[in-house]
Structure formats: C-alpha cells, structure tokens
Amino acid sequence: MDEGIDAAMTEVSESTRVQPVANLREFFRDALHSALEHQRLEVEDQTECYVVNLLTLFARSEALYEQTPEGTRLKPLVVMLSEALEAPSVGARNRGLQRLGDVSLFIAGFFAQSFARKLIDIDYHIAMGGRAYGTLANALGRGPGRVLGQVFAELAEKFQPMVDALNEVSETSYRHTDKDILRLYEIWLKTGSRRSYQLLKRLGVEPTPLSGAGITH
C-alpha cells in the first residue's frame, strides 16, 4: 500500500510544474482559507492554523517520510496505529495518534486521484485519520492539552470536508476533464464528498447512488 502511494507521489511531483512562492506558510494560509470559504466549511481559527502548519511541515519530504528497514518511505497506516497503541507511554501514544491523523489528512487531501485502482483507497485514510484524531481529542479533553484537544475534535468531526478543501488546494492549477468523471464518481460514492458531487455536476453528470450504497449529503 505504501509503495503505491510513494510511486503516485513521485509521478505527481515529476509531472507538476513547481511554482515558486516567497513564503510557503503564507501561500498555504491563503490557499486554505480560500478553499474553506469556497467549500463553505467553517472551522475555528486554531484548527485552520494547525492545518496550515501541517501543510508547511509536510512540504518538506524529510518531515513526511520516515526511516524504515526498507529505506525512506511512508509506513502503512495500520503499522502507525499499532505502534501508537503499543507505545510505552501516554505521551508516545498521543504523538503516534497525531502522526497517524496528520499523515492521513495530508495524503487524502493531496493525493486523492492517485488512489484509483489501489487496494487501499481514500475512504480508508479518511476513516483511519478521523478515528485517530477523535481518540486523541478524548485523551486531551481535560487539562493543559484541552485547547489542542478541541482542534483534534473538530478535525475528527470534519475530516472528510477538510479533505475536500485540501483537494482544492492541491488542484489550484488543475482543470478537470471528462477523464476524471469515473474517479470523481468513485470518490463521491465512497466518501460522500460534496466537492466531488459539485465537480460531477459541473461536468454534466447527475450523480446517482448505486442501489444500497446509502450515500447521504
């Protein structure tokens, strides 16, 4: 699973022209704020700030990837979860859950199209990341970490809409075509993505749930 993501990320980086910016954090702040407004997603200022900091951090590959026996790569999410749950201390457990939530959000937000035809799809990342943030929010619900706990609680509650917003940030210079219809439809069926629904409508498609799919909007 992680090898497929790594390959997809390499393809994206090689096929996308890099646009130089004076200040990466300011770029992500403005781009995310605009995407949140366009998606009509309201989040607290501290939550928006957290995501901006996350994007700025993971723009550096050494912060996103980890050293493993197989080399520098992304660990599978299930391995991250196992390591967090088996951590020797509460602090290490919380850091592991935070890492799991952060990586899930970033990958689902910036590489949604790359999951096509992969065994593990975007809905898996949304589920894993949302649960990690939710568990972390409960752990930090009291005491000095409660403010950060509120951030994780909001991210857990709004994980999928935040992924939509990050999809928009990642595709700032991308124009959807008819070739994207099947993938957008698949993402909409699996996640209920409001953004994918709107893009399908814009491309002239009236999204209809499959029998028994149970998608709600």
How confident is the model at residue 88, as a pLDDT? 96
Is the pLDDT at 204 greater than 70? The verdict is: no
pLDDT at 114 over 90: no
Residues 139 and 89 in one domain: yes
For residue 213, the model assigns a pLDDT of: 46
Average pLDDT over residues 144-167: 93
* 201 and 103 in a common domain: no
Rounded-to-10 torsion of CA 42, 44, 45, 49: -90
Task: Give percent of the chain with pLDDT exceeding 70.
Answer: 75
CB 72 within 8 A of CB 10: no
Q: Is the pLDDT of residue 92 over 80?
A: yes
Residue 16 has pLDDT above 50, yes or no: no
Given this model, what pLDDT does residue 146 score?
86
Q: Supply the range of the domain harboring residue 37.
A: 2-174
pLDDT for the residue numbered 29: 93
124/198 same-domain check: no
Residues 92 and 190 reside in one and the same domain: no
**Left (φ > 0), alpha (ψ -120 to 50) or beta: where does 196 sit?**
alpha
Helices (H), 111-171: 122-139, 146-157, 159-170
DSSP string, 42-100: ---HHHHHHHHHHHHHHTSHHHH-EEETTEEEPPPHHHHHHHHHT-SSHHHHHHHHHHH
Instruction: Say if residue 79 is in the same domain as residue 100.
Output: yes
Q: In this structure, are 11 and 95 located in the same domain?
A: yes
Domains: count for the chain? 2
Residues 189, 106, single domain; the answer is no
In this structure, the answer to whether residues 21 and 108 fall within a common structural domain is yes
- Claim to verify: residue 168 and residue 203 sit in the same structural domain: no
DSSP 141: S
Q: Are residues 100 and 11 in the same domain?
A: yes
Angle, helix 90-110 to helix 146-157, in steps of 10 degrees: 40
Judge if 12 and 87 occupy the same domain.
Answer: yes
Which pLDDT score, from 0 to 100, does residue 65 have? 86
Please compute the mean of the pLDDT values over residues 87-98 and round it to a whole number: 96
Predicted confidence (pLDDT) at residue 207 exceeds the cutoff of 80: no
